[in-house]
Amino acid sequence: MKKIITLAGSSSKNSINKKLAEYVGSLVEGADIKNLDLNDYELPLYSIDLENEKGFPTDLLELNKEIEETDGIVLSLAEHNGSYAAAFKNAFDWLSRIDAKVWRRKPMLLLSTSPGARGGQSVMEAAMSRFPFNGGNVIASMSFPSFNDNFEGGRITNEGLKQDILSRIDLLNKSI
């Protein structure tokens, strides 16, 4: 059975990106889904001095192992001021110190969402230009617009957007 991890690039306990990533992960048929939460990994603010003094935090090694052992990734990025959320950027910085190819060429469905109509397009553009340098194998991507209008009761309510997501899940499935 293929193993898929879901992850939201957010530290919010009520993250809409977490809701989207976990929902999309639940639609991947025949997979063992593991939902990861950045809040479960205690990572101090990255510093080369801290790394040299104390090495890699235990929680970082655990997160890295999850990425290493998965067959595919569903990642949904929160957008803060047009870029990555601080918690995600910090984890990404730490992970890149273990292996610059953070994503290990694992097939990835890359998502972003926001309450607005652009659905986190700026952070999506940043990730699409950066991730290939860090082992990103983005099979499909989607900026999911107006989250609160299109996702209710734990599911996508807009049929067109749901079909868009399902077609991207199909691409991910074919790549694993």
Contact 120, 78 (CB under 8 A): yes
CA distances from 12 to 7, 16, 17, 24, 80 (A): 12, 8, 9, 18, 12
What is the pLDDT, as a whole number, of residue 124?
A: 98
Q: What does DSSP say about strands 31-35 and 2-9: parallel, antiparallel, or unpaired?
A: parallel
pLDDT in tens, the chain (176 residues): 899 999 999 999 999 999 999 999 999 999 999 999 999 999 999 999 999 999 999 999 999 999 999 999 999 999 999 999 999 999 999 999 999 999 999 999 999 999 999 999 999 999 999 999 999 999 999 999 999 999 999 999 999 999 999 999 999 999 99
Separation CA 79–CA 86 (nearest Å): 10
- Segment holding 110, helix H or strand E: strand 107-113
CATH H superfamily, domain 2-175: Flavodoxin domain (3.40.50.360)
What is the pLDDT, as a whole number, of residue 1?
A: 85
Q: 34-48 in b/e burial notation, b at 16+ Cβ within 10 A?
A: eebebeebebeebee
- Segment holding 34, helix H or strand E: strand 31-35
* Residue among 176, 103, 94 nearest 136 (CA): 103
